[in-house]
Amino acid sequence: MDDDKSCSSSFSIGKSAQERGLSYVPECYVIPTSHRPSLTPEVANVPTIDFGKLKQGSHERAIVIQEIRTACCQLGFFQIVNHGICQSVLDEALASASEFFKLPGSEKAKFMSNDVHKPVRYGTSFKDGVDKIQFWRVFLKHYAHPLADWINTWPNNPSNYRKPWESIAKK
């Protein structure tokens, strides 16, 4: 079986290379050198934004909002500190996510979709089985705001999945 066929057939059912137990990197995971990001000083220095300052005066709030805007425009990401979410809630959420990813493929496949606008989506790339270059990852994304509109669409297996993510979304 050639690598390209191996990649496309695996992603149609949402299995990552890890889940398939591969001992090599399939061709569809190899990003051409010309498309690889370089670690420029800007990327190596991820901006850290203090969300605690959002609750201070309007001047401090305006500065934080500008920091967020700058980080999004220049890099597309940033690190948040002082967000107010307890470490125990974060740990519980990550543990429940880990449990979700350990579920059988048939359970995770309930959330498979190539529609990037789907409010709950499990996948291994942007368009599984369609994109020529796949990302060595699996993900589960779901909308969370407004929470009441989306929480019932989130996975309920494992049974402890929704509670910590609900706490995070509310915070």
The reported pLDDT for the residue numbered 110 is 93
Per-residue pLDDT of the chain (171 residues; tens, 9 = 90+): 444 445 554 444 556 666 677 778 777 777 788 877 776 666 568 899 999 999 999 999 999 999 999 999 988 889 999 999 999 999 999 999 999 999 998 999 899 887 889 999 998 765 555 666 666 678 899 999 999 999 999 999 999 999 999 999 998
Q: How far is CA 104 from the centre of its chain?
A: 20
CB atoms within 10 A of CB 110: 12
Report the distance separating Cα 78 and Cα 68, nearest Å. Answer: 8
Report the distance separating Cα 41 and Cα 48, nearest Å. Answer: 15
CB atoms within 10 A of CB 122: 24
